[in-house]
Amino acid sequence: MSARWLLYPLLLVVVGIFATALLLGFAAAMIWPTLPPLDIVTDYRPKVPLRIYSAEGKLIGEFGEERRSVVSMPQVPKPLVDAILAAEDERYFNHKGVDYMGVARAAIANFAHIGPKQGASTITMQVARNFFLSREKTLTRKVNEILLAFKIESSLTKEQILELYINQIYLGQRAYGFASAARIYYGKTLDGLSLAETAMLAGLPKGPSIFNPVANPARAKLRQQYVLRRMRELNVITAEQQADADKQPLAIKNELNEFATKADYIAEMVRQAMYERYKEGAYAMGLKVTTTIFVNHQTAANAALRAGVLTYDRRHGYRGPEAYADLPPNATEETLEDALQEYAESEDIFAAVVTEANAKRVKAYRRGGEAIEISDAGLKFAGDALTDKAAANQRIRRGAIIRVQSDDKKRWNITQLPVVESMLLSADPRDGAIRALAGGFDFTRSQYNHATQALRQPGSSFKPFIYSAALEKGFTPASIFEDKPLSFSAAQTGGEVWEPKNYDGKYDGPMSMRQALVRSKNLVSIRILQAIGTRYAQDYITRFGFEAKLHPPYLTMALGAGNVTPMQMVGGYSVFANGGFRVKPYFIQRIEDGKGNILFQEKPVRAKENAEKVIDERNAYIMTGMMRDVVRFGTAAAAMKLGRGDLAGKTGTTNDFLDAWFGGYNAELVAVAWVGYDQPKTLGRNETGGAVALPIWINYMGAVLKGVAEVPLEAPQGLVGTGSDAVYQENGPRGGESTGETPAEGAPAAPAPAPDSARNQLF
């Protein structure tokens, strides 16, 4: 009797199991037809971001919501596979999508409250969830997840499923897939990872935010130790390997150094070009764009620009704190962080809020919890702002938001973000390949690309193009012009009286064209333009890539009163550098799709091959000789510190010191530097192209030409003499008929503009 009663519970259990199985079977039969098709995994097309590379193949930019690098299973090292399986699914190759032993273990552990709450999702189930399902924790979703796992296992091999997982799983820091995570966290490819690094990455799928080594290094270390322990228990590593890996520090790569160099402006140019061509697909189809940028050139350009701008800024004194925060007496770290929230950092220039200040010492808080102290030489730049004499809006006191910078001895100094802007652009004159483009002081502060967007007056840096036109008209470097005052009446100009002057206000009488260029004599340049005709000059400069409409046919053209972009100036100087050929500056070499197929390959025009010859090679040679003299003993003589004899160039300063320029080159590299304010205002008395822009150019060229042999200037046929003393064998008008316009001493053939029209404008 008692035995019969014992059978009842057993029967109930069996019936319950059978009923549950029937119910699950019925549910599965109902749900199975509604499951989504597996096209998304059988024809896997991941969202791979747009990646931008230097000419050497180094990553310099990336755009896309998901950072992902797709790899195939043969590219995945075995230790990484072992680590992933140890952490996530040790019986992966022995189940059909659902690990029943794992489910039972998790159920028992969770029921008995043994350790942290456990799950039983296999890698296949995780793939199903990541591709098809939400993360809501409901019974329906779990059933769908299990059924999808069965369906995936019936359609794909284990290797294919694991490959999907390795490429798709989210691992923090916007990294999708292990190859991307290896690059972002360690700056390595998968085959370059150590065992310690492998274990850390393998621990991330469990909780990308909880175990993120950037945000939670302590938790990340614990998770790494768990993965190493599981690998040891599964005998895929030895005890010695486990111990060695455990001793290694996390050593996470600083994400600020993710790219080989800072190239935000050129990366943005590429992004815009790719969006124009591929629209939104540009950010997900895995495009690989190889640019013409050289990493060492870009790095040198960035450093030269920032050093030059900061040097100029310091010359003009400390402007005071950027703002003031109202700090309570016992300000907490949270309060201090809030005070700094809206102040972005600029590379090595950091925002800080002052907590204590007197004439001898300043204490401040820097974002991230660092308390710093500034004293002695670190206060020198802002010393006046620490005295009682300082104006209320310039005084450094508690709550002041200041900028600080660490010197080479790790000492903090008070500094400030400059208001002035700058640009440096370089290219190979033989084919127009851009080698460096620093479009502004800091891209995070202003995305306005001065190299391509800013139309500014070039000042005297435009004179070489007028002198080149004069050579074509039959003049020579030895041609004599008067350096003495000129005056144009209101009747002649159609506006106001115009009395142009030399920069230094001095006049030296008769001098050669060569001397006038070397000394940048404005009055001689005007007389040269009078002699050749403004209409002729306006047409002639289009040979160099300038737009005629931006250079009205007035005598002010001789002083660079038209408008140019730095990109146009680089193209113009390239004509002189390459012997008279017009090359088009370009920045994209090649575009590839995610599979390596070439979608676009640039076919640049090359000087002396397929480029258009726009000026006589003798003209280019003579102009280079004259501009070498500018560098040897003229307004750019400071460049002689580089110790090279193959450099040529011209300084430029506009009216009221609104713009400072220097354009220079040798046979293999052209570079143009510019400094000015976005809303034009004076840079200050004596802040000329030679004082402000030239130092930037010198620092850049000194870095990139170090150890590079000089390129000799070979004289073309048809010349008598060498360098700046050369003349055409048969001297006479070149490039067109005489315009019949009035020669040097007469009034201008076309109305000269009023002085205000020679001022800068920014469009």
Query: Does residue 680 surpass a pLDDT of 50?
Result: yes
pLDDT digits (tens, 9 = 90+) for 87-128: 988 888 888 777 766 555 544 544 444 444 444 588 888 888
Query: Does residue 379 surpass a pLDDT of 90?
Result: yes
DSSP 8-state class, residue 656 = G
Query: Given this model, what pLDDT does residue 134 score?
Result: 52
- Cα-based distances in Å from 346 to 258, 307, 527, 686: 16, 13, 47, 28
Rounded to an integer, the average pLDDT of 723-741 is 58
Using alpha carbons only, give the angle 434, 437, 443 rounded to the nearest 5 degrees: 150
pLDDT digits (tens, 9 = 90+) for 252-300: 875 445 789 999 999 999 999 999 999 999 998 999 999 999 999 999 9
| Comparison of pLDDT for 8 and 700, the residue scoring more | 700
pLDDT digits (tens, 9 = 90+) for 218-244: 889 999 999 999 999 999 999 999 999
3-state secondary structure at position 128: helix
Query: Does residue 760 surpass a pLDDT of 50?
Result: no
Please check whether residue 585 is in contact with residue 618, taking contact to mean a CB–CB distance below 8 angstroms.
no
The residue type at 262: K
**What are the DSSP calls for 558-571, one per residue?**
GGT-S-B-HHHHHH
Query: Does residue 5 surpass a pLDDT of 60?
Result: no
Of the candidate ranges 97-111, 347-361, 548-562, 626-640, the one whose mean pLDDT is the lowest? 97-111
Domain spans in the chain, listed from the N-terminal domain onward: 70-255, 319-415, 423-706+714-758
CATH assignment of 423-706+714-758? 3.40.710.10
Query: Given this model, what pLDDT does residue 44 score?
Result: 65
| Comparison of pLDDT for 224 and 209, the residue scoring more | 224
Rounded to an integer, the average pLDDT of 167-185 is 89
Of the candidate ranges 158-172, 438-452, 532-546, 599-613, the one whose mean pLDDT is the lowest? 158-172
What gap in Å lies between CA 622 and CA 617, rounded to an integer?
9
Query: Given this model, what pLDDT does residue 731 score?
Result: 54
Show the tokens assigned to 155: 């359609």
What gap in Å lies between CA 139 and CA 3, rounded to an integer?
38
Show the tokens assigned to 152: 């995936």
Show the tokens assigned to 753: 């503009």
Q: How confident is the model at residue 32 (pLDDT cuts 50, 70, 90)?
A: very low
Query: Does residue 55 surpass a pLDDT of 90?
Result: yes
Name the superfamily (CATH) of residues 70-255: Biosynthetic peptidoglycan transglycosylase-like (1.10.3810.10)
Number of H helices, E strands in the chain: 22, 24
The residues that bridge with 61 in the sheet, in sequence order, are: 52
**What architecture (CATH level 2) is domain 319-415?**
Beta Barrel (2.40)
> In 428-561, which ranges are E strands?
434-438, 480-483, 509-512
Query: Does residue 320 surpass a pLDDT of 60?
Result: yes
| Comparison of pLDDT for 22 and 90, the residue scoring more | 90
Residues 6 or more apart whose CB falls under 8 angstroms from that of 148 comprise 35, 36, 125, 128, 132, 133
Rounded to an integer, the average pLDDT of 18-24 is 51
Query: Does residue 40 surpass a pLDDT of 70?
Result: no
Query: Does residue 437 surpass a pLDDT of 70?
Result: yes
Catalytic residue among 121, 426, 460, 574: 460
Please check whether residue 344 is in contact with residue 441, taking contact to mean a CB–CB distance below 8 angstroms.
no
Query: Does residue 753 surpass a pLDDT of 60?
Result: no
Determine how many CB atoms are found less than 10 A away from the CB of residue 368. Answer: 9
- Type and span of the H or E element at 660: strand 659-665
Please check whether residue 423 is in contact with residue 450, taking contact to mean a CB–CB distance below 8 angstroms.
yes
Query: What is the DSSP pairing of strand 288-291 with strand 50-53?
Result: parallel
3-state secondary structure at position 458: coil
Q: How confident is the model at residue 756 (pLDDT cuts 50, 70, 90)?
A: very low
Query: Given this model, what pLDDT does residue 174 score?
Result: 81
Residues in the chain: 763
Show the tokens assigned to 41: 């995994």
Q: 3-state SS of the chain: helix, strand, coil percent to 5?
A: 45, 15, 40
Query: Given this model, what pLDDT does residue 583 score?
Result: 97
Query: Does residue 309 surpass a pLDDT of 70?
Result: yes
| 240 annotated active-site | no
pTM as predicted: 0.81
| Comparison of pLDDT for 137 and 171, the residue scoring more | 171
Return the closest-CA partner of residue 300 out of 655, 737, 700, 664.
700
Of the candidate ranges 150-164, 557-571, 595-609, 618-632, the one whose mean pLDDT is the lowest? 150-164
Return the residue matching tokens 């003579």: 622
Show the tokens assigned to 682: 């004076």
| 460 annotated active-site | yes
User: Above pLDDT 70, what percent of the chain?
Assistant: 84
Query: Given this model, what pLDDT does residue 116 score?
Result: 43
Rounded to an integer, the average pLDDT of 152-180 is 88
3-state secondary structure at position 369: coil
Query: Does residue 624 surpass a pLDDT of 80?
Result: yes
Residues 6 or more apart whose CB falls under 8 angstroms from that of 488 comprise 497, 498, 499, 555, 747, 748, 752
Rg, Å, the chain Cα set = 35
What gap in Å lies between CA 147 and CA 32, rounded to an integer?
7
Return the closest-CA partner of residue 562 out of 529, 519, 598, 603.
529
Query: What is the DSSP pairing of strand 59-63 with strand 598-601?
Result: unpaired
Catalytic residue among 54, 62, 69, 88: 88
